[in-house]
Each structure stands twice: as C-alpha cells, then as structure tokens.
C-alpha cells in the first residue's frame, strides 16, 4: 500500500506543478478564460475515453504493468508539453496526458484488492489524501518554476513533471507487488478457480440496482470540483489581482486542507456515520463555502475561508463514492468498475471547466460558483435519498 500511494503522490505532484501555470500560459499565447478551461477539458475528455480501458486492462494483465504503463505515457506527454510553443501544441500535449490518467482508477482498484469492506473507505481516503498532498506541493513548485525568467513559461515545470512521472514508473515497476489475487501467483484454491473463468462482460458493472445513479454522482461532483480548480486562478487574477505565484500558494493551502481531511478525518468519519452520511456532511461544508464566496466581499480573507471549505467539503465525495462502488462491484471487475468511475469523473471535468469558463466570461467572476453550489446540493439530496432507501429496505 505505501508503494502505491507514494507512486501516485509522485505522479500527482507532477500534475499539480502544471495547474497554476496553464491559465497564464494560455493568455500568453493569445487565448482567454474560455480557451484556458477548454485546455483543462481536453485532458479530462481523453481521461473519460481511456479510463475504463485502462481499468479493464488492469483486470486482465494485472495492476502493476498497467499502472507502470500509464506513468511511462505521462512522462512522454510532459516532455511534449515542455516543448510546446503555441496553443495547438498545448492541446496535443494535454490530450496525451489525459490518455494516461487511468492510473487513478488502477490505483483505486489496487487499494480495493488490498482491503476489505470494513476499511475500504479509509483506503480510498488515503488516495484522496495523496491527491491533496500532490496538489499542495505541486502548484507551489509550479508557481515558482513557471515564473523563472520573469514571464510565464512551461519548460521547467513540464520537465519537472516528466521527471516525477518517470520516478513513479520506476517505483511501480521495481517495488510494487501485484495486488490482483488471480494475477499475483499467490492464489488460494478458490481464487485460482475463479481466475480460470473468463471475466464477466464489462456491462455487468452498470446493471446493479442504483448503479446508474451512482455513476451519475461521479459526474456531478466532478463538475463542481473541476470548476473550482479551473476557475480559481482566473477568479484570483480578476478579483484580487494575483499572479501565478500567489495562485500557487492558494492552491497549495487548499491541497493541504484536502490532504488533512482525507488522511485524518475520512476513516473516523466513515466509521462513525458511514459513507452516505459523511457525504452529506461534506456537501454541507461545501455549500457554506459557496455561500461565503458568492455573498461575501471579494477579499483575501474571503478567499482563504471559502476556497478550503468549497474544495475540502465536496472532496469527501471522492472516497465515499468509490468506497460504495467497490463494495457493490464484482471482485473480478474492480478495475473495470473503478475505471468507469474515473471515466465518469473525467467526463464531469470536461463539462465543468467549460461551463465555468462560459459563466465567467459571460457574466461575472463569481457566477461559476452558483453552478458549483448546485452540485453540492445535488450530492446532499442523493445521499439523503440513498440513506432513506436503505433504511426502508
């Protein structure tokens, strides 16, 4: 488990390095907020298309080789990004990176292999904490490297990201054990018998009761989260006059909040309240943060209070929804199911930044956060409905 988490942290560190510099690089090459959010969306579109395929592949050949392959692909994509000198090259490089983002679903499947239902939620929380740490340190490093020379540049941040992905590939290939029981060579008789059977058709993961609504929640919560990450740099520049360095500090602080909640609070929260009620608690914090941002003054204090609440609140959905899904899915299809969840989240990250960019450009800097608030409200209502359905069953 530590090897999986560390490899994902290294890779997410590289991804986080790119986040604060892309909006400013878009402006440098003649784009606007709409083009910048489209640059985020192309990454997510390719993740949506490739995520389920990577998950299915990991069910067939094992988690370790599939995960190592995604890290190798990310290394190549970041090198291409380093030498991008116009918007077209940026879009091509980000599309390549998006195709390799199936490592998230594979890592969740590996963690599911290593845990049982009693500690599944905590394991998913640890992956969420790893994301938070990657986004905490990555934007901080990216903001500094991206300002070398006095103007936004992608060369040094992208090379740093490539080196991190290459390190993650080496760690995975060299030290990570195979976690899928029927691929590890350590099967008991029952697992060996199951391994000889052909994998069920992928469509099985969609046919359980309530499964389509569950996958829809991955899409909806990702819309809210992605708008936050895509619009925050533009909001900070328009409202507070911040540059990429200050935006990097803000995202780093939010990432630390997310990491603290995911690593320290998720396990006890799920144990005491369960995944669904914990999701309701997180959505409530998310809605409070949106209200502060929408109706409070456009000041640094508002940003420092609201953004951690907004992003940390709905981030509870990540481990909660994946824990619920992994418990409902066939053990032999964990990679497929979690690959689909990763794909649906990616689809939400396609539409989220585009919707946020249109609202930002067409109305005001605050208007995208009305959409963000609505996603938190939907998450709360769905979780409440599920709790009532299970209680009455």
**Is 146 in a helix, a strand, or coil?**
coil
Taking the model in full, what pTM does it have?
A: 0.70
- Cβ atoms of 138 and 165 within 8 Å: the answer is no
Distance of CA 115 to the CA centre of its chain: 21
Name the residue with higher pLDDT: 270 or 79: 79
Average the pLDDT over 273-294 and give the result: 89
- Cβ atoms of 382 and 254 within 8 Å: the answer is no
- Cβ atoms of 183 and 194 within 8 Å: the answer is no
Nearest to 75 by CA among 11, 19, 21: 11
User: What sign does the CA torsion over 314, 316, 319, 324 have?
Assistant: negative
Residue 182 predicted with pLDDT over 60: no
Residue 42 predicted with pLDDT over 90: no
Where residue 199 falls (left for φ over 0; alpha for ψ -120 to 50; beta otherwise) is: beta
**41 vs 102, 353, 383, CA distance in Å?**
16, 6, 27
**Fold of the domain built from segment(s) 2-175+202-392:** Growth Hormone; Chain: A; (1.20.1250)
The pLDDT confidence band at residue 330, using thresholds 50, 70 and 90, is low
Phi and psi dihedrals of 214, rounded to 5?
-65, -45
Exposure string over 204-216, b if 16+ CB within 10 A, otherwise e: bbeeeeebeebbe
Q: Rounded to an integer, what distance in angstroms lies between the CA atom of residue 169 and that of residue 158?
A: 16
Q: Where are the domains of the chain?
A: 2-175+202-392
Task: State the pLDDT at residue 150.
Answer: 67
Place of tokens 């090459």: 29
Nearest to 207 by CA among 327, 109, 330, 50: 330
The pLDDT confidence band at residue 14, using thresholds 50, 70 and 90, is low
User: What sign does the CA torsion over 266, 261, 231, 36 have?
Assistant: negative
Radius of gyration, alpha carbons of the chain: 20
Residue 362 predicted with pLDDT over 90: no
Where do the DSSP E strands lie in the chain? Answer: none
DSSP state at residue 281: H
Task: State the pLDDT at residue 198.
Answer: 59
Residue 38 predicted with pLDDT over 90: no
Q: Which residues contact 259 (CB under 8 A, 6 or more apart)?
A: 129, 130, 131, 132, 133, 136
Helix (H) or strand (E) holding 6: helix 2-18
The per-residue pLDDT for range 120-166, each reduced to its tens digit, is 667 777 777 777 677 667 777 777 777 776 676 778 888 888 888 88
Nearest to 167 by CA among 10, 27, 315: 10
């Amino acid at each position: 488990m530590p090897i999986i988490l560390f490899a994902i942290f290294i890779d997410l560190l590289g991804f986080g390095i790119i986040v604060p510099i892309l909006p400013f690089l878009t402006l440098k090459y003649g784009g606007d907020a709409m083009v910048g959010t489209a640059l985020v969306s192309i990454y997510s579109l390719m993740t949506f298309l490739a995520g389920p395929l990577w998950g299915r592949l990991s069910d067939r050949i094992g988690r370790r080789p599939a995960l190592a392959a995604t890290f190798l692909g990310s290394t190549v994509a970041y090198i291409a990004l380093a030498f991008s000198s116009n918007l077209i090259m940026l879009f091509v490089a980000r599309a390549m990176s998006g195709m390799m983002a199936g490592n998230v679903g594979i890592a969740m499947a590996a963690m599911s292999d290593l845990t049982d239902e009693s500690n599944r939620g905590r394991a998913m929380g640890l992956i969420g904490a790893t994301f938070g740490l990657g986004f905490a340190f990555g934007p901080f490093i990216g903001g500094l490297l991206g300002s070398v020379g006095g103007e936004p540049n992608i060369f040094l941040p992208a090379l740093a990201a490539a080196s991190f992905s290459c390190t993650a590939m080496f760690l995975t290939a060299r030290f990570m054990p195979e976690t899928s029981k029927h691929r590890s060579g350590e099967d008991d008789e029952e697992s060996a018998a199951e391994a000889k059977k052909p994998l069920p058709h992928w469509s099985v993961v969609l046919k359980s009761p309530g499964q389509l609504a569950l996958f829809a929640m991955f899409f909806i919560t990702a819309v809210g989260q992605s708008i936050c990450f895509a619009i925050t740099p533009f909001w900070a520049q328009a409202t507070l006059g911040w540059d990429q360095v200050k935006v990097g500090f803000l995202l780093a602080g939010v990432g630390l909040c997310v990491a603290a909640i995911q690593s320290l609070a998720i396990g006890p929260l799920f144990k005491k309240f369960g995944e669904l009620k914990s999701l309701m608690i997180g959505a409530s914090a998310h809605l409070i943060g949106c209200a502060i941002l929408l109706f409070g003054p456009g000041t640094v204090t508002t940003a420092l209070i609201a953004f951690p609440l907004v992003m940390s609140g709905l981030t509870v959905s990540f481990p909660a929804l994946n824990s619920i899904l992994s418990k409902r899915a066939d053990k032999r299809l964990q990679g497929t199911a979690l690959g689909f969840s990763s794909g649906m989240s990616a689809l939400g990250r396609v539409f989220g930044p585009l919707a946020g960019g249109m609202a930002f450009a067409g109305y005001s800097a605050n208007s995208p956060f009305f959409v963000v608030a609505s996603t938190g409200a939907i998450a709360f209502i769905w979780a409440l409905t599920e709790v009532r359905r299970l209680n009455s069953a």
